[in-house]
Amino acid sequence: MAALVPIALSAVGGAGASAAVGLGLSALSAYSSMRAGRAQAVGLARQSAMEQVQARGAALQYRQAAVDRLKQLNAQQGALVARAGAGGLDPFSGSYKQLSQMAEREAAIDYRILQDNAIISREGGSIQSGLLLDQANRAKRSGLYKAGATLGQAGMTYRKIGGPPKGDE
């Protein structure tokens, strides 16, 4: 019996070495999986920040447009007063007054819409950013899980190959 043990060990030695190499390669593969997950997560996190920046920019643009609309109203009122004065008419009564009031109403509506757009743009960017952050976290976890699975499968395969009974090892 004792004479057989070396024979068995040498025979299994080949299989054992191969299995160990396989196990090492699987560990590297697991590391790659982790890295892939992490890289994807970093990209997504950055994209999330970018989305927030872009949303804020868009909100500012809407705020500027709102201000410009008020400026445009002032210009319209000034033009009406000037035109009434030139014609010797009272700019604060009659049809001039009605035109002035209509311009004010239109400008107020536009101003509120532009204010709302700014809010929508900012909040939409914030939501999109949050989603991307979630994706980043998932990608990271997925990389970790895949690495774990790879290592687990390698371990099971290593065990599946097996060797001589304990007493003969």
Counting beta carbons within 10 angstroms of the beta carbon of residue 17, is it exposed (0 to 12), middle (13 to 18) or buried (19 or more)? exposed
By CB under 8 A, name the one of 28, 82, 89, 102 that touches other proteins.
28
Among 2, 6, 50, 122, binds other proteins (CB under 8 A): 50
> In sequence order, which ranges of the chain are alpha helices (DSSP H)?
4-87, 94-161
Q: Which stretch binds other proteins (CB under 8 A): 9-17, 89-97, 99-107, 112-120?
A: 9-17
Choose which of 57, 78, 85, 152 interacts with other proteins (CB under 8 A).
57
Q: Decide: 55 and 128 in contact? Cβ < 8 Å.
A: yes
Residue 161 touching other proteins (CB under 8 A): yes
Widest Cα–Cα separation across the chain: 128
- Helix 94-161, helix 4-87: angle, nearest 10: 180
DSSP E strand boundaries for the chain: none
What character string, x for contact with other proteins (CB under 8 A) and - otherwise, covers 98-137? Answer: ----------------------------------x--x--
DSSP label at 93?
S
Which residue in the set 47, 77, 126, 128 belongs to the binding site for other proteins (CB under 8 A)? 47
CB atoms within 10 A of CB 34: 19
Interface residue with other proteins among 2, 6, 15, 105 (CB under 8 A) is 15
Beta carbons within 8 Å of 72's beta carbon, 6+ residues apart: 107
CB of 113 to other proteins, least distance (A): 18
Distance in angstroms (rounded) separating the CA atoms of residues 92 and 84:
9
Residues in contact with other proteins by the rule CB under 8 A: 1, 4, 7-8, 11-12, 14-16, 18-19, 21-26, 28-30, 32-33, 35-37, 39-47, 49-50, 53-54, 56-58, 60-61, 64, 132, 135, 139, 143, 146, 150, 154, 157-168
